[in-house]
Amino acid sequence: MALNFFDQFMSPTYMGIPLMALALTLPWLLYPTPTTRWLNNRLLTLQSWFINRFTQQLLMPLNVGGHKWALMLTSLMMFLFTINLLGLLPYTFTPTTQLSLNMGLAVPLWLATVIIGMRNQPTAALGHLLPEGTPALLIPVLIIIETISLFIRPLALGVRLTANLTAGHLLIQLIATAVYVLLPMMTTVALLTATVLFLLTLLEVAVAMIQAYVFVLLLSLYLQENV
Amino acid sequence: MVHTGRYGIHDGQKCANCLVCKMADRPVPMAEKRLMDVKLGELMTWASTKDFSPNGIIAAVRRGHDRYYNKYINVKKGGIGGVAMLLTGYVVLSYLWEYDHIKHDRWRKYH
């Protein structure tokens, strides 16, 4: 019966289609395409403003070579942002709680930054493995450590996103169960727990947005090093 | 329906000369009938005339999307309702999708 708390991370199939498919296609439906009109509807205006500000902010530290990644990074951000926020609605499924999806996003993108770095500027890319000013004795150790840290990056990107979202969802479910069970027995305690639940939900909304941002930000940093 | 034709404004099918009067009770082919005009007995026949190929389904989804978008979102002072209805529909759909799994939770003693 303890399995039940983890059931929210399952994607049940209905008529052969898993719920994950619905959850993955919904973000596409929520963002209309910009038109060539001078004045668009409110949703489009809001969306365009947000996307422009975000792209400007993200691309500030990158040089011109990195600007080729603008579309990729911004669309990734919008995708993760929407998926995370939609997952907070009742009964919905959050695809980013699945490690497979996050690794599927993290590994190819990270690998792309590494390969771009190795192809275009191999000396500089390899040079990142040794920070400036290290004492001569430490050089071998540091190279090994930096290589390990390089290869851990995609794992960290994927697992960070998965763990944050999974933990948040689990906490919400646990505390909500506690409130529900306590309500007939100890109403005051239940009310206090309900306050905790409310605050937790606000935190989860913030986490949803922040995690998406962090994912994309780190990717842009890796890109910055390599481009 | 009051309309104007060659013989001035008139109602119903008074003349046989203006376009509306001429088209008034021409039988509509089954494929072009709207759903609300189809009689219950004809429902199956009507459904069989619809295009269920992948292209047809995509076209239908696009039509539905355009109708919803232009009615609720692409308006001068659209509010939160347009997106909120969509999200509520999504929540309801998710619930239906998961119902077979969730129904066991109702009488479960330990969660």
The Cα A218–Cα A110 span in angstroms is 10
pLDDT for A1: 41
C-alpha atoms less than 13 angstroms from C-alpha of A202 in its C-beta half-sphere: 5
The Cα A67–Cα A61 span in angstroms is 10
- Provide the shortest C-alpha distance from residue A217 to chain B (in Å): 28
Strands A13-14 and B3-5: unpaired
* All residues at 6 or more sequence positions from B75 whose CB lies less than 8 Å from its CB, including other chains: A41
Whole-angstrom CA distances from B37 to A33, A37, A155, B12, B28 are 34, 37, 58, 19, 10
* Cα A159–Cα A93–Cα A55 angle in degrees, nearest 5: 60
For residue A1, what is the nearest residue in chain B, using CA coordinates?
B111
pLDDT for B40: 82
Q: Which ranges of chain A have pLDDT less than 50?
A: 1
User: Would you say A160 and A154 are in contact if contact means Cβ atoms under 8 Å apart?
Assistant: no
Determine, for residues A92 and B83 on separate chains, whether the beta-carbon distance falls below 8 Å. no
Q: Which two tokens stand for residue A188?
A: 């005051």
Chain A and chain B share a number of CB contacts under 8 A equal to: 63
Task: Sort out which chain A residues have CB atoms less than 8 A from B61's CB and list them.
Answer: none
* All residues at 6 or more sequence positions from A126 whose CB lies less than 8 Å from its CB, including other chains: A118
pLDDT for B110: 67
Could you give the ipTM of this predicted complex?
0.83
Nearest to B98 among A19, A41, A42 (CB): A19
- State the average pLDDT over residues B77-106: 86
Determine, for residues B74 and A5 on separate chains, whether the beta-carbon distance falls below 8 Å. no
Residue B111 has pLDDT above 80, yes or no: no
Residue B55 has pLDDT above 70, yes or no: yes
Q: Is A110 helix (H, G, I), strand (E, B) or coil?
A: helix
pLDDT for A61: 86
Name the average pLDDT for chain B: 80
Determine, for residues B95 and A22 on separate chains, whether the beta-carbon distance falls below 8 Å. no
pLDDT for B27: 73
Query: 3-state SS of A123-146?
Result: HHHHHCCCCCCCCHHHHHHHHHHH
Tell me which DSSP letter residue B65 carries: H
Chain segment A18-64, per-residue pLDDT in tens: 888 888 989 888 898 888 889 888 999 999 999 999 999 888 888 88
* Cα B78–Cα B91–Cα B73 angle in degrees, nearest 5: 15
pLDDT for B89: 93
Task: Sort out which chain B residues have CB atoms less than 8 A from A47's CB and list them.
Answer: none
The Cα B99–Cα A91 span in angstroms is 10
User: Would you say A147 and A175 are in contact if contact means Cβ atoms under 8 Å apart?
Assistant: no
The Cα B111–Cα B99 span in angstroms is 17
* All residues at 6 or more sequence positions from A60 whose CB lies less than 8 Å from its CB, including other chains: none
The Cα A203–Cα A206 span in angstroms is 5
Residues of chain B whose C-beta is under 8 A from some C-beta in A? 65, 69, 73-78, 82-83, 86-87, 90-91, 93-98, 100-102, 105, 108-111
Strands A17-18 and B3-5: unpaired
Q: What share of chain B is helix, strand, coil (3-state, %, to 5)?
A: 60, 5, 35
A41 touches chain B (CB under 8 A): yes
- State the average pLDDT over residues B47-67: 87
